[in-house]
Amino acid sequence: MTLRFFATAPRPCSYLQGRDAISVFADPDARLSTAIYDQLAGFGFRRSGNDLYVPACPGCSECIPVRIPVHRFKRSRNQQKIWNRNRDLDCAVLAPEFREAHFALYRRYLASRHPDGGMDDPDADDYLQFLTSDWCDTLFLEFSLDGTPLALAVTDRMQHALSAVYTFFEPDAARRSLGTYAVLRQIELARETGYDWLYLGFWIPGSRKMQYKSRFRPMQAYYEGRWQPIEDIPPGKS
């Protein structure tokens, strides 16, 4: 199968102020599959809805794909504290379907994280179109307390890896560090199912929102056309 790729027009970058962003997308009319996803993830591609894409911004290489070798991962002292702090939560693996409680949580999360940013008033169709796809094997990992969802981690299953697509959580539960906890649970799920990697998407050294990703060690970064230890990224990138 021959797969074509298309570049977008420049648009304002969502992460680095004053910069333009360009993405390269796999042909949206192609018959994508988990096998293709697995291959493209090896080149740094990410899923959003039905699309697979990778940043391709001229003169900028700040968006660095990262992944965790799950069988070598060890929790830091702080990560172990976060794990212990959330032992009272129930974790359920659910089908990627619309649930009103999840959608309400998603809206609260966006209103807290992206006020007046154009993302804080989604409808139900936007929600599912962003998080799920027609061709991908996606799981919803729900973390709840006494039946009330506190976080949802949207997770894709590929042939040799899991991919952490998007996580949202209760804004009033900041003390729990639910974003970090969700990654720790995804690492455990990958281990239990025999996968080698957990892909975390893009790490952006210049973005404070993305700094938490570099705290999971060991970690590999796709930089200058190959996966390498994040410690080997040149100064100013790590």
Q: For residue 237, what pLDDT band results from cuts at 50, 70 and 90?
A: low
**114 pLDDT exceeds 90?**
no
* pLDDT at residue 208 in the model: 82
CA distance 70 to 64: 19
pLDDT, residue 209, reads 82
What tens digit of pLDDT does each residue of 120-176 get?
A: 578 999 999 999 999 999 999 999 999 999 999 999 999 999 999 999 999 999 999
pLDDT digits (tens, 9 = 90+) for 138-150: 999 999 999 999 9
* CATH code assigned to 66-232: 3.40.630.30
Check whether 111 has a pLDDT greater than 60: yes
The domains of the chain are located at: 5-61, 66-232
Q: 119 pLDDT exceeds 70?
A: no
> Helix (H, G, I), strand (E, B), or coil: what is residue 48?
strand
Residue of 46, 72, 66, 75 whose CA lies nearest to 213: 66
d(C-alpha 124, C-alpha 199), whole Å: 27
Which residues are within 8 A (CB) of 137 and not within 5 positions of it... i.e. 6 or more apart?
A: 34, 156, 157, 158
| Best CA proximity match to 233, nearest among 203, 197, 190 | 203
Determine phi and psi for 64, rounding to 5 degrees.
-110, 115
* Residue 230 token pair: 């994040």
> Is it the case that residue 238 has pLDDT exceeding 80?
no
pLDDT tens for 195-221 read: 999 999 999 987 888 888 999 999 999
Q: What is the mean pLDDT of residues 8-14?
A: 94
Confidence of residue 236 (pLDDT cuts 50, 70, 90): low
Decide: residue 50, CB within 10 A, 0-12 exposed, 13-18 middle, 19+ buried. Answer: middle
